[in-house]
Chain A
Amino acid sequence: MIAAQHIDFDAIVIGSGITGGWAAKELTEKGLRVLVLDRGKNIRHGTDYLGEHAPDWKAPFQDKPDRELFAREYPLQSKNYAFSEFNRQFWNNDRDNPYISNPEKPFEWFRADAVGGRSLLWGRQSYRWSEQDFKSNSDDGNGIPWPIGYTDLAPWYSHVEKFAGISGQAEGWPELPDSEFLPPMNSFALERTIKQRLAKKAPDLRMTIGRSAVLTRDHNGRSACHYCGPCHRGCSTGSYFSSQSATLPAARATGNLTLKSDAVVERLIYDEQSGKITAVQVIDANSGERHSYSARLFFLCASTVATTQLLLNSGSDKFPNGLANHSGALGQHLMDHLESTPVVGIFLDDMDRYYFGNRPNGSYIPRFRNLPGQDADSEFLRGYGFQANVLRANWKMAYNQKGFGADLKDALRKPGFWIWALTGFGECLPRPSNRIALDHSKLDRFGIPQVSIEFDWSDNEQAMWKDMNQQSARIMKAAGAVFYQGMGDTNTAIGGGAIHEMGTARMGNDPAQSVLNAHNQAHDVANLFVTDGSCMTSSSCVNPSLTYMALTARACDYASKQLAAGAI
């Protein structure tokens, strides 16, 4: 039996990651009483960042991976660069929370399991979409047109940037609009050397310091970065933006926030008479008890795959194919960015220069292919950017050398050559065959049907990979690499690997082709809003989180006004 708790909230936000945190902040600050539900464990900001600043010698096996444990319980999550014993508590346990990936068309779902979600773990790179990004679908006929353009979102970019704090350099480039910036981080000597060379030998390229949600000065009660290095262990000074460091504390400060962790939302309850969602049904992850919570407004911010799963699992007589799915678009058009293998270049410049501190940020070469009026002969649509990172080789990259004794020790303790690595991130076309469905024959430990995901790359992305390969080679040569290891001509990326999954409940003006309208409101259900990555109509090639933030804040503004006007 369902033990109903008759608590009414103005709004319920499902998920506490990047978008859930923003929805909580915006809605509570507008005076709404908000319940935030997260299926993950409760992590307290700072207090529970147990691995923060912990040295290697305290870690099990001195930070050699716990292979047995990882293979048994985290076979997928442990493949991620940010996964380690120092932050394992933030990650999804793959054994406890399985999903189905078609081996022929595999998809990797990297997933958090903690309040704050992947905002604790994200790469913090923050870029605005350009005007062209919003027009790409209508220009080349793939997917459906966006219902909004850059000018609709620009003020909301500013709104979220001013609060979150984005460090970067204003450049005035139309293909990469500037944010409201905090001062940029300093550069490596090698980056300046490379930038000068590129200006001469590849003048069509632009390069700027990474735009990062890491503070370069104290901002809104959070401290400037102390450059300890591994952000993804959590940051008790709140120097990188996360729900934990920024939006949830702001929401809490209003007195209007109720947050429940370990709360697995099983389904949304649709009322045919009113045509609205009336409640959510929640399973306590620890006790298994079921509760339902009622509200007037519902924001889905659970991340692309989980939000889609929840909508598909909330079907009814009115919506046999999933809630708010009269269009049939729900679950389709799954996208991720085409992330290349890193192209690693070795440099012998500036060998007598070094660095102090660990900069949690790289530099960025924005899209330079298929910009308006160029590359008419290219063999692919849309474009890609390169994220570039500097490393100085140390013992970890040379321990398998020959020799013994004082000479070996000396060689190992001293820095080696410089490395500059390029990673391409390419725009992915929206296609119905890349999709998320429910498998009713496989239930999870809560009795909820598991999601089954199919994803492969289109011919366009295959051609884009080849172009990335050629262009990265050109860039490495122009930059002055003495040697580089290319990415190869064959696409080896696996969908989900860029952790930029999006698109399965897309926005659009046409209710027959899209799930959400121009305000992230479900066409079919007036009090349902979806603002995580699932709302995306196309994918651009820049990191998406900043756009999710802006869309969320914009949708909250609209929803609260509609609510006040009695339209919801």
Chain B
Amino acid sequence: MKQYSAPPSPPFAMNGGHVRMDGRDVLRGVDLVVEPGDLLAVLGPNGAGKSTLVKALLGLLPLSAGRTEIYGRPPARFRDWKRIGYVPQRLPMGGGVPATVREVVASGRIARQSRWRPPSAADRAAVDRAIEAVGLSARARDSAHLLSGGQQQRVLIARALAGEPDVFVMDEPTAGVDAASQAALAGTLGELAAAGRTVVLVAHELGPMEPLINRTVVLEHGRVARQTSTAAPAGAAAALGRAS
């Protein structure tokens, strides 16, 4: 199947993506290609389908029409999940069994671990780095559910960081987050951009992240209403040949 002349597949490519939920069309024919090195913000009003779009990109919601690919494969046949880091909107409470910050963050390594081997020194070091990157080292042994909303969001980002993926998909990382956590998030994004990582994030407003974002997609009523693309920030060298 592999052809040496073919260009590498982009992280995400959706063509005519259509999602129906509870008898309502939430996404209506979305075309979107996310190139390596993109820092793409999905914007739009409430109910425009922003979260639905990122979940459909990951294959968490099935398409009722159209197709979508992760690195050139449909989500059901994609295997290289260690390249993907998903940051959901919130940390679910579940049945209320506590979990420490470290336990939650360490679970982000799972796609890189073998069931048959205990965590390696590299695993532990990656978890330490991720917790430190979001400034929660002092809270590593505390119960994640007892932290503030902004700190919980940082825990979720640290979980994705721990997996050292190529692509981050963040669903409203700034919703209900205090200014300090927003600034911390912007700092983390800047480092990811400098390292050439790809980021897709859903947001209401960009705030301190704005200068880092190099592409925006505005959704309205399940359709792409506007797309903008600015000059790539430092580090996004892979932006060569990007469709504007």
Do the two shown chains form a genuine complex with each other?
Answer: no
